[in-house]
Amino acid sequence: MVTISSEPLSAPLNVGFDYTRSLGPVLGRFATGLRAHTIAGIRGSDGRVLVPPAEYDPVTAEKLTEFVDVGTEGVVQTWSWIAQPLAGQPLQHPFAWALVKLDGADTGLLHAVDAGSPDRMSTGMRVRVRWAAEPVGSIRDIECFEPLDVEPTERAPGEGDPVTMVTTPIHLTYQHTASPEESRYLRGLAEGKLVGQRCPACDKVYIPPRGSCPTDGVPTEDEIELPDHGIVTTFCVVNVPFLGQRIKPPYVAAYILLEGADIPFLHLVLGCEASEVRMGMRVRAQWRPRDQWGTTLENIDHFEPTGEPDAAYETFSQHL
Amino acid sequence: MNPSGGVLAGHPMFAAGLIRIGAAAAEISAGRADKALAHATSGPLLQQNLVCVLEGR
Amino acid sequence: MGGQLAAVIGTGQTHHTAKRLDVSMAGLCREAIDRAMADAGTDWADIDAVVLGKAPDLFEGVMMPELFLADALGATGKPLLRVHTAGSVGGSTGNVAASLVQSGVHRRVLAVAFEKQSESNAMWALSVMPPFHMPVGAGAGGYFAPHVRSYIRRSGAPNHIGAIVAAKDRRNGALNPYAHLQQADITVESVQASKMLWDPIRYDETCPSSDGAAAVVIADEQTAKGRPAAWIHATAMRTEPTTFAGRDQVSPQAGKDAAAALWKQAGISDPVSEVDVAEIYVPFSWFEPMWLENLGFTEEGQGWKFTEAGETAIGGRLPVNPSGGVLSSNPIGASGLLRYAEAAMQVLGRAGDHQVDGARVALGHAYGGGSQYFSLWVVGSERPGAR
């Protein structure tokens, strides 16, 4: 066992969802206007015209209702050059983020200016909207702003029912890193071994191992190889399908307590009807073919009943 | 100002404010200051701000 | 608990529903806030600080939503604090707001909590599986169902108890105009006939997915005296790890400890006879008897008998969730603050058709994560110690 490396394992974790935003009356009007090539601001309690329109007054918090259309040209109030644009930004070649005070507005709108080079950017310069090729009713209907000396791009406005929703795709790209102890356990799995750790203070055996005992707060170093059989402590039958689900329902999600362990983990039980799964049922791991093994608990495809008599409730009631 | 090196020397983002308070307290504990100010800020426009003053007694 | 007295002087909530597509998150929060401010008779100038609670940011895909909501929350130029303790967050938000008054830091604090579940899909958001794990997770229902099974086995409760709770809470919800589900005709039999989702939890025993918000105005003694007020008698919060060897997943120690601290602080020695009404976080029907035991309203293993005897219905010894509870409306982040607000409404006598007659002492309860966060408060129609 000491041959197993403790170098932390890591793997990508990608999370993404197309969020559906309801805009409400103020932002809905702003988005509807953009599609038609107009830009709506709103008048605040202090008389200022706020662009984009605020739903609630930044000074008094009162609801705002007086819309004011502003111009499609304006002045750069301040800017910052982006030499290497990121995916998802308005332009994929170098551009400036700028606060643009549109004619008739009292606040700056943050957007991209397509100036070609930072030499052509200056505070106080005038810019105009370049509309997107296919307006849909979103802030992206403004493709970007451009200096006035650039030849205007002819783009047709869109039409349709008032815009009430926008879809916002969000993608998070993580590198998930396991702890050194969990990494040893995962490398053990890759060799078909189940490696836990025992707490020196309370003697409880944890699998996966954690490196410290959550009850005693002391380091755990004493490794123990556990057998691949145990009991079902409790379980549920998942009948409900959902987005992102990786196992086809119905399936039995069960807490499996390996023999010699003091904490169960969740796994799948197959090999009998879902209605036959019982608390206390003895089960054994069904491993996938060895050539499919990796550093994951998924090396165990599922657990199956062994057919031995069930464990008495008293023997596992403290694990519920 | 920022004898610890401040955020420019290390920026675990959401811990950076608490580190400022800890660094200010450390100056007092070490006897290098009687009164110290710590500042934390958050938001894409740094629109949320916290200032606290610590004093050794 | 801080030395100063604090009281709820106004509550507000939205009409909870599956999809509020006519408002933004800001507009949703403001509906609840405007109702709470009107109920309290306060104006923005009276509010010293704002506390916002909501559940994981993945639900709406907005990181630190308190910042973009600052205008709508009336927080410009004021202290604004965001609280996050998973599903219990609404309760924690109330406790944090109360502590700001009890400590004497602020005189009037607005507590707001919301969730706009229609912006994404909570089942997806709660089932994101990191690498190396066995992907058997299936949302909150998949998490809690095995522990419900453990409760049933441990207590020997008959299978229909969950259905009794579901039918009772849904019928109560029909008395509450703000409740998402309005099911006056639901019966124990119809609940038992509904689809099994996460065996042993059936469809009708499961909370809905709601858009909604809640708000309360908490004030100091000087502001609250001489006007209708729900006095805060005690608050408590406790936490424990999601898993450790020997953890009691059915009746977590953190919940027991929170309850013990709460009753002690409130001067309550026999909760079941001294509390008039309880708003308890019951997202899956079986959690009513489980929490009755965990909170000390009954002995361990006896909660289901109390439920079966009808003692938790309006008119029983301890009406539980007369508002319809989480089983009738579940804007997750707001659900805890709704329990707190409903408790306050009961002792203020402002609960309308779901008012419990003569309610003078009420419990608000929330739990979150894998039953690892607990937030509680007791409010009363009279000042603490006056009973």
ipTM metric:
0.93
Residues of B in contact with C70 (CB under 8 A): 47
φ/ψ region of A116 (left if φ > 0, alpha if ψ in -120 to 50, else beta) reads left
The domain tally of chain B equals 1
Segment-wise mean pLDDT, segments of 10 residues, chain A, 320 residues: 75 94 97 98 98 96 97 98 95 98 98 97 98 96 97 94 96 93 95 97 96 95 96 94 79 95 95 94 97 95 97 95
Q: Report helix, strand and coil shares of chain C as percent, to nearest 5.
A: 35, 20, 45
Q: Supply the DSSP symbol for A112.
A: E
pLDDT for position C129: 83
Q: Is the pLDDT of residue C166 over 50?
A: yes
Instruction: From C55, C383, C384, C47, select the one nearest C214 (Cα to Cα).
Output: C55
Instruction: Determine which helix (DSSP H) or strand (DSSP E) holds A15, and give its type and residue range.
Output: strand A10-22
Residues A139, A242, single domain; the answer is: no
Residues A88, A193, single domain; the answer is: no
> Chain C 47-106, CB below 8 Å of chain B: which residues?
64, 67, 70, 80
CA A284 to chain centre: 35
The domain tally of chain A equals 3
Contact C236, C56 (CB under 8 A): no
Residue A194 sits at the chain C interface (C-beta within 8 Å): no
Residues A38, A153, single domain; the answer is: yes
3-state secondary structure of A205: strand
Instruction: From C161, C361, C163, select the one nearest C267 (Cα to Cα).
Output: C361
Q: Supply the DSSP symbol for A210.
A: -
Nearest residue, CB atoms, C146 vs list A205, A235, A313: A235
Can you give the pTM of this predicted structure? 0.96
Structure tokens at A131: 């509309």
> Chain A 87-126, CB below 8 Å of chain C: which residues?
none
Average pLDDT over residues B29-54: 95
Contact A320, C250 (CB under 8 A): yes
Nearest residue, CB atoms, A237 vs list C128, C130, C199: C199
Cα–Cα distance, C343 to C362 (Å, whole number): 5
Structure tokens at A307: 């057919």
Contact A28, A164 (CB under 8 A): yes
Which stretch of A231-235, A238-242, C77-81, C222-226 has the lowest confidence by average pLDDT? A238-242
Residues A28, A123, single domain; the answer is: yes
Cα–Cα distance, C126 to C117 (Å, whole number): 12
Residues A129, A74, single domain; the answer is: yes
Contact A233, A278 (CB under 8 A): no
Residues A219, A294, single domain; the answer is: no
Residue B16 CA: distances (Å) to CA of A245, B2, C167: 37, 12, 50
Single residue among A163, A187, A211 that ends a domain in this structure: A163
Considering just the CA atoms, what is the radius of gyration of chain A in Å?
Answer: 30
User: Chains that contact A by 3+ CB pairs under 8 Å?
Assistant: C
Summarize pLDDT for C265-303 with one digit per residue, the tens: 999 999 999 999 999 999 999 999 999 999 999 999 999
pLDDT for position C254: 98
In a domain, A174, yes or no: no
Q: Which long-range contacts (CB under 8 A, 24 or more apart) does C301-306 make?
A: C301/C154, C301/C155, C301/C156, C302/C155, C303/C155, C304/C155, C304/C157, C304/C158, C304/C161
Q: In what order do the strands lie in the sheet with A205-206?
A: A205-206, A194-198, A222-226
> Under an 8 A CB cutoff, do A262 and C196 touch?
no
Summarize pLDDT for C6-46 with one digit per residue, the tens: 999 999 999 999 999 999 999 999 999 999 999 999 999 99
Q: Residue holding tokens 């008039």?
A: C276
Q: Grade residue C136 by pLDDT with cuts at 50, 70 and 90.
A: confident
In a domain, A173, yes or no: no
Query: Tell me, what amino acid is at C142?
Result: G
Nearest residue, CB atoms, C136 vs list A206, A247, A296: A247
Instruction: From C255, C339, C336, C271, select the one nearest C306 (Cα to Cα).
Output: C271
In a domain, A172, yes or no: no
Which domain covers residue B40, as residue numbers? Answer: 7-55
Which domain covers residue A143, as residue numbers? Answer: 24-163
> Chain C 259-288, CB below 8 Å of chain A: which residues?
none
3-state secondary structure of C198: strand
User: Could you give phi then psi for residue C331, rounded to 5 degrees?
Assistant: -80, 95
> Under an 8 A CB cutoff, do B47 and C80 touch?
no
Considering just the CA atoms, what is the radius of gyration of chain C in Å?
Answer: 19
pLDDT for position A1: 46
